[in-house]
Amino acid sequence: MRVGKLISDPFKDLAESGKLSGMLLILATVVSLALSNSSRAASYLSIWHIEIGFDFLHESVLHWINDGLMAVFFFLIGLEIKRELQVGELAVKEKAILPVMAALGGMIFPALIFFLFNSGSKEHLNGWAIPTATDIAFSLGILSLLGKRAPLSLKIFLTALAIIDDLGAIVIIATFYTSTLHLEMLMYAFIFIMLLFLLNRLKVRLLLLYIIPALGLWYCILRSGVHPTIAGVVAAMFIPRGMAHHLEISLHRPVNYWILPLFALANTAIPLQFDPSRIFSGLTAGIILGLLAGKPLGIMLFSWIGVKMKISSLPKGTDWKHLAGTGLLAGIGFTMSIFIAGLSYKEPAVLDLSKLAILAGSTLSALLGMVVLYLLPGKK
């Protein structure tokens, strides 16, 4: 019993602090990169391209993860956004202004930096949104490693910023990363949305009655040309508050400990081919510098404008150095950046190169952010 407690308690502590999800993502990435460049690479890479499904829906394992399981991830994001807008930091105008402005700057500047390096390349320009993303699980997991050196108000600020950032990513995906639209399927999708709306208005509390139209909505959006993960966010908006709270708690572990690590395994299966002419390119520079420099610069500048205009204030117990470190941690794009890269590029070589740049930029952002915050005086 005592041995079991010694083993289980550290894992419980890791899970409760948010560190475990980040560690699982790192482990999944390392394992995937190692297998992709081992003697078993061909067998490992082929796993993700095995086709499974039904007569009406037949996709590869990779597509089931990116289009199916990630819809559950976006559903959880939708629940978090709804909660924040109703009772969280974003529900109070005065508290919401700073993370909203910071998130806006943290999306604009990385996109501008990427554009500066890739404006002359039609092949690469479609990936302008890649460095605008923040991985909420990873960034908060890294921040939690700092313990008392990261004030609670800073964690709340980063959470709100990352949620707004996710909302921005959803808008970007829906607006800029859609293929040819099929209006008939969008009409069917609208019918399922109306069903969810009616269930909400009638105060129905049976979860199954929400799941069925949500699945129908996912399928119709998949066939419409809009990316199907948007269905997850839309469906979340119609879940009643009490049910939404329980769902958020129930989904936290499977999403963070299974879906996201599986996404990392599938999407970092990258054979490393060091071609200097491609590695040192506008694509890699735009992504790495967008995450590493664009994120903190945009967050700092827009936050400074908000404070100077006296429409917002810094989180309690923090200063501009804390915000600089947090801005660097917001440059951990990882999951969301890799997801957007998959929508941006279809050529395998370009996609793999963009993923390597995301890994590099996210790693550097995490390390520098930790160093900056660690060197600041901790809470007594």
Tell me the per-residue pLDDT of 95-141, one tens digit each, with 9 for 90 and over.
789 999 999 999 999 999 999 999 988 889 999 999 999 988 788 87
Q: How many domains does the chain have?
A: 1
Q: What is the mean pLDDT of residues 57-80?
A: 91
CA atoms within 13 A on the CB side of 288: 14
Is position 21 within any domain?
A: no
Tell me the per-residue pLDDT of 75-100, one tens digit each, with 9 for 90 and over.
998 898 888 888 877 777 777 899 99
Distance of CA 357 to the CA centre of its chain: 16
Is position 360 within any domain?
A: yes
Q: What is the mean pLDDT of residues 242-258?
A: 91
In whole angstroms, how large is the CA radius of gyration of the chain? Answer: 21
Supply the pLDDT for residue 293: 97
Is position 207 within any domain?
A: no
How far apart are alpha carbons 345 and 123 in whole angstroms? Answer: 8
Give the number of other CB atoms < 10 A from CB of residue 106.
Answer: 32
At 334, list the tokens: 């990882």
CA-CA-CA-CA dihedral for 353, 332, 147, 78, to nearest 10: -130
Supply the pLDDT for residue 7: 40
Is position 169 within any domain?
A: yes
Q: Is residue 17 over pLDDT 50?
A: no
Supply the pLDDT for residue 136: 82
Q: Is 301 exposed, middle or buried (0-12, 13-18, 19+ CB in 10 A)?
A: middle
Q: What is the mean pLDDT of residues 326-347?
A: 93
Provide, rounded to the nearest whole percent, the portion of the chain with pLDDT above 70.
Answer: 93
Supply the pLDDT for residue 9: 46
Supply the pLDDT for residue 327: 95
Is position 356 within any domain?
A: yes
pLDDT category at 298 given cuts 50, 70, 90 is: very high
Is position 36 within any domain?
A: no
Supply the pLDDT for residue 276: 63
Is position 87 within any domain?
A: yes
How far apart are alpha carbons 365 and 326 in whole angstroms? Answer: 10
Tell me the per-residue pLDDT of 155-188, one tens digit each, with 9 for 90 and over.
889 988 988 888 888 889 888 887 677 889 999 9
Name the least confident of 1-10, 161-170, 268-277, 289-298: 1-10
Name the least confident of 19-33, 191-205, 256-270: 19-33
How far apart are alpha carbons 132 and 165 in whole angstroms? Answer: 8
Tell me the per-residue pLDDT of 275-286, one tens digit each, with 9 for 90 and over.
666 677 899 999
Name the least confident of 59-63, 116-120, 138-142, 349-353: 138-142
Which of the two residues, 179 and 143, has the higher pLDDT score? 143
Q: Is residue 197 over pLDDT 70?
A: yes
Domain of 140, CATH number, reads: 1.20.1530.10
Supply the pLDDT for residue 14: 42
Contact assessment for residue 312 and residue 299, using Cβ atoms and an 8 Å cutoff: no
pLDDT category at 18 given cuts 50, 70, 90 is: low
Domain of 295 in residue numbering reads as 57-177+227-374
Name the least confident of 7-16, 28-37, 160-169, 333-342: 7-16
* Per-chain mean pLDDT for the chain: 88
Q: Could you identify the residue written with the tokens 């890699």?
A: 284
Supply the pLDDT for residue 10: 45
Supply the pLDDT for residue 274: 61
Is position 370 within any domain?
A: yes
pLDDT category at 246 given cuts 50, 70, 90 is: very high
3-state DSSP of the chain: CHHHHHHHHHHHHHHHHCHHHHHHHHHHHHHHHHHHCCCCHHHHHHHCCCEEEECCEEEEHHHHHHHHHHHHHHHHHHHHHHHHHHCCHHHCHHHHHHHHHHHHHHHHHHHHHHHHHHCCCHHHHCCCCHHHCCCHHHHHHHHHCCHHHCCHHHHHHHHHHHHHHHHHHHHHHHHHCCCCCCHHHHHHHHHHHHHHHHHHHCCCCCHHHHHHHHHHHHHHHHHHCCCCHHHHHHHHCCCCHHHHHHHHHHHHHHHHHHHHHHHHHHHCCCCCCCCHHHHCCHHHHHHHHHHHHHHHHHHHHHHHHHHHCCCCCCCCCCCHHHHHHHHHHCCCCHHHHHHHHHHHCCCHHHHHHHHHHHHHHHHHHHHHHHHHHHCCCCCC
Tell me the per-residue pLDDT of 359-373, one tens digit each, with 9 for 90 and over.
999 999 999 999 999
